[in-house]
Amino acid sequence: MLHRSVFAFFMSLVLSIIMSAWVTYLNLGLTSDFIAKWLEAWILAWPAAAVCAFLFGPGVGRLTNQIVNKAMS
């Protein structure tokens, strides 16, 4: 459970930073208040990403193992 929680924490942190920056950039461009708008979006996105990573991470890991194992055999 500790591994799953730490993984979800870091995966959601990295993905929410990257995705919120990208979507903010696509929606606003590089405006003078880009950083403020990006941080606002990130603060809202990170908890949602953390819950998704925690809930769906194990299933995605199992699916990945099945696909890779099938491809390797």
For residue 42, pLDDT over 90 is answered with yes
The whole domain housing 65 covers 2-72
The whole-model pTM stands at 0.79
Convert the pLDDT of each residue in 46-72 to its tens digit.
Answer: 999 999 999 999 999 999 999 999 999
Convert the pLDDT of each residue in 19-33 to its tens digit.
Answer: 999 999 999 999 999
For residue 14, pLDDT over 90 is answered with yes
Using CA of residue 11, residue 14, residue 19, residue 24, what is the dihedral sign?
A: positive
**The token pair that represents 56 in the structure block:** 């769906």
For residue 1, pLDDT over 90 is answered with no
- Report how many domains make up the chain: 1
